[in-house]
Amino acid sequence: MKQLLVVSGLIALAGCTPGAPDPRGLEENETFLTVTGSGRAEAAPDQALFTAGLSSIAATAEAASARNAETMQQITAALAKLDIPARDIQTRNLSVNRITWGDNRGKYEAANTLAVRVRNTDRVGQAIAAVTAAGANIVSGPNLSVADPEKANLGAYDLAYKAARAKADAYAKAAGLRITRVLAIHDGGQGGYMPPMAEMDARMVAPPPVVAPQIAQAPPVMTGTNAGIVTVRVDFALDAD
């Protein structure tokens, strides 16, 4: 009899204990819905990156290197005249190789390459013309980009949330429910990226290294716009309409 009383007590206690709360934050009779949305923001590029370099061939490694060093000093001086600071000029390659084929077999080739960042896109063409006039015979770029992509994407986050909300409203209406609460918002970050047109062209056809002729005047550089795409995931609570 004592054992029966204990068991009955446990049953009564279990009946009085409230159910564990839903870890997602749902209340009784609510339905959980999670949807994703994306937003796109376009921004005009405010910086450009291009590479400029020199390839010299001479009978000795010393002679090829000396010729390169003299011309590279002229190139950096030309960039300085355009008010491009040293922090925006970075050495990317230094090499000296003995040529083992072709008409220059047995000679030496010295190659230097600089990466140049131009923070005023109106002067990109002028900078390219300046380095070629100073002696650069290898030029590639420019790659146009936005210096602060997070700031440029702020409008896209608003659009992404609105897209998620509209999608959730449509689901709720179809199910005969209504949205009662937003349970959580999860930042999906960069859900996609639309590269500049020049970068898209580069992916389609991989061009050989560009040997630059002397440019008499600044070539036109059309900046266009870059587009960033962000995503968001939102959890909603639905209830009967």
What CATH number should be reported for the domain holding residue 90? 3.30.70.2970
Domain match, 130 and 77 both: yes
What's the one-letter identity of residue 33? Answer: L
DSSP state of 161: H
Q: Is residue 126 included in any domain, yes or no?
A: yes
pLDDT surpasses 80 at 230: yes
Q: Kindly give, in sequence order, each residue whose CB lies less than 8 Å from that of residue 79, ignoring residues fewer than 6 positions away.
A: 89, 116, 127, 130, 131
Phi, psi of 107 (to 5 degrees): -90, -175
Which residues form the domain of 62?
Answer: 47-145
Q: Note the pLDDT tens digit of each residue in 154-213.
A: 889 999 999 999 999 999 999 999 999 999 999 987 644 444 434 434 333 333 344 444
Q: What is residue 156's three-state secondary structure?
A: helix
Give the residue-averaged pLDDT of 45-68: 95
Number of structural domains in the chain: 2
Q: Note the pLDDT tens digit of each residue in 62-116.
A: 999 999 999 999 999 999 999 999 999 999 999 999 999 999 999 999 999 999 9
Q: Is residue 9 included in any domain, yes or no?
A: no
Domain match, 198 and 239 both: yes
Domain match, 61 and 33 both: no
| CA angle (58 as vertex; 55, 63 as ends), nearest 5 | 95
pLDDT surpasses 60 at 17: no
pLDDT at 122: 92
**Is this structure's pTM higher than 0.85?**
no
Q: Is residue 51 included in any domain, yes or no?
A: yes
pLDDT grade for 13, boundaries at 50, 70 and 90: very low
pLDDT at 190: 65
